[in-house]
Amino acid sequence: MSLLITGGNLKAVGETKTLLRLSALALMWGSSFLWIKLGLTAFSPVQLVLIRIVLGAAVLVAICYAQRDRLPSGRRLWGHLAVAALFHNALPFLLFAVGERTVDSGITGVINSTTPLWTVVFAFAFGVDRTLGGPRLAGLLVGLLGVVVIFAPWHANGLLSWGALACVAASLSYGFVNGYESRFLSATGASPVALAGAQMLAASGYLVFMLPAGGAEPVHLNAVAVAAVLVLGVLSTGIAFALNYRLLAAEGPVAVSMVSYLMPVVSVLLGTVFLHEALNLRVLGGMVVVLAGVALTRVRRAGGPKPSATARTGSTAASSAARSTRVSQPS
């Protein structure tokens, strides 16, 4: 018996693998909100985020050395990495953890889906992407309308609270740092995984300094919370970052941007199924409006300049990966 392999078969196999990887990335990032909610039953936000970042850093550094890459060097580069570590890891991770003490995990995922909108604003402010034409401006306005629908400040049962505002601040932090990384970390020549590992190491330093303020709370260990934090650090942070870069290098930012649309859906479904969170039709409607706005911000005029996407790194393939490190930010 012989097996005939054609170009079409190989292409279909390649597309299937890409879809599986994109789905895995959406699941790992979208499930972050579930793991955070479960982890908070045992740990304070500072404790949880410190463990998460240390585990993520360990995975990324191990992958870096397995690929025979080196951590970046140079005082100036590490200065930029320190800024990125604060606004891309330490601060938003902590804000989401604080927010989830009072906000459902699914709603947190929906709020996180606004990140691409803030990214457009900060990319324009940093001079990284000045193509703020009609469709993109319309996308921003539509997306912001979706945010208003989600929060419903006119409604007695609206989501306007300190916890929800902390989640919005985390998304704003991601938007800011995407523009910053595109401006200062998109052409370093270093491996994306090495930069991510170094950034996570720097972020762990911030959390160590925060321990006296928020890390002295008693720990109430339970098996579910410990397992959740392990999955959050190893899979949803370390391995997810590495997979993100691999997909960006192989498929490009357009393909990976599909994760932006899948993440909030994953977070809402997991919160509903495993945490019995109520499905709020207004929030779901707002999520659809936000994602429609995100889609509009990615519409470009024919022949127009290409955007310089968002986030971190080096060579041609790496630089594309770097500048797009999180078309959709994980929590």
- Could you list the residue range(s) of the whole structural domain that residue 79 is in? 27-323
pLDDT of residue 129: 78
Neighbours of 132 (CB within 10 A): 15
| Residue with the larger pLDDT of the pair 160 and 331 | 160
Task: Give 266's pLDDT tier (boundaries 50, 70, 90).
Answer: very high
Asked if the model's pLDDT at residue 217 lies above 80, the reply is yes
pLDDT of residue 85: 96
The verdict on residue 22 lying in a domain is no
The verdict on residue 329 lying in a domain is no
The verdict on residue 101 lying in a domain is yes
Q: Into how many domains does the chain fold?
A: 1
Residues 182, 130 contacting (CB under 8 angstroms): no
The verdict on residue 107 lying in a domain is yes
The verdict on residue 17 lying in a domain is no
In the predicted model, what is the mean pLDDT of residues 113-118?
A: 91
pLDDT of residue 301: 56
Which whole-number Å values give the CA distances from 275 to 106, 144, 145, 271, 331, in the listed order? 9, 28, 28, 5, 18
Q: What is the pLDDT of residues 37-83, one digit of tens each?
A: 999 999 999 999 999 999 999 999 999 999 999 899 889 999 999 99
The verdict on residue 20 lying in a domain is no
The verdict on residue 114 lying in a domain is yes
Q: Of all residues in the chain, what percent carry a pLDDT higher than 70?
A: 84
Q: What angle do CA 159, 210, 113 make, to 5 degrees?
A: 35
Residues 119, 293 contacting (CB under 8 angstroms): no
pLDDT of residue 309: 40
The verdict on residue 330 lying in a domain is no
